[in-house]
Homo-oligomer: A and B are copies of this chain.
C-alpha cells in the first residue's frame, strides 16, 4: 500500500512517516517499481505502535527504546514498566507546573477590573511580581 494509506491506517501523517524513516525510527520502506514507498501490514503495525506511544506522551527516543523492547523476545517486562512509571512522574510534574501557572493567571485576572479604564492590576503585578514576597499566592 502507498504511504497515504499507511498514514490513514496508522493515524500518522505521510510527512511524519517519512520523517520517522529519515531519523531511523522505522526501517526504510521498500519501494514499488514507480519509486513509491510500499507498506505491508506489519509496517503499519509498527507505525500504529508509534502513534500510540507518542500520543501517550513518550518522546521519540523513548519510542525508539519501546520499539526495541517490542521487537526483543528477551525483554523483561519490568524494564518496560519502569519506563512507563518514569514517564508518569514526568507528566505529573508537568501537570503541577501548569496548575501553578493557571492559579497565578486566575489570581491575576481576579484582581483586574476588566473595564474601559487603563488601570490594570495584571500589568502592575507582572512588573513587580515577586518583589514583595509574592502576595499573589497568599491572596493578600
Could you tell me which A residues sit within 8 Å of B by CB distance?
45, 48-49, 52-53, 55-57, 66, 69-70, 72-78, 80-82, 84-85, 87-88, 91-92, 94-95, 98-99, 101-102, 104-106, 108-109, 112-123, 126-127, 129-130
Contact = CB atoms under 8 A, between A and B. Distances in A.
A50 B42 CA distance: 50
B75 A118 contact: yes
A48 to B, nearest CB: 7
Given A98-B95, A122-B81, A76 B115 contact: yes
A123 B83 CA distance: 12
B117 A48 contact: no
A69 B123 contact: yes
Contacts of A118: 72-77
Contact of A119 (B77, B99, B102): B77
Contacts of A104: 56
A118 B76 CA distance: 5
Contacts of A109: 81, 84-85, 88
A64 to B, nearest CB: 14
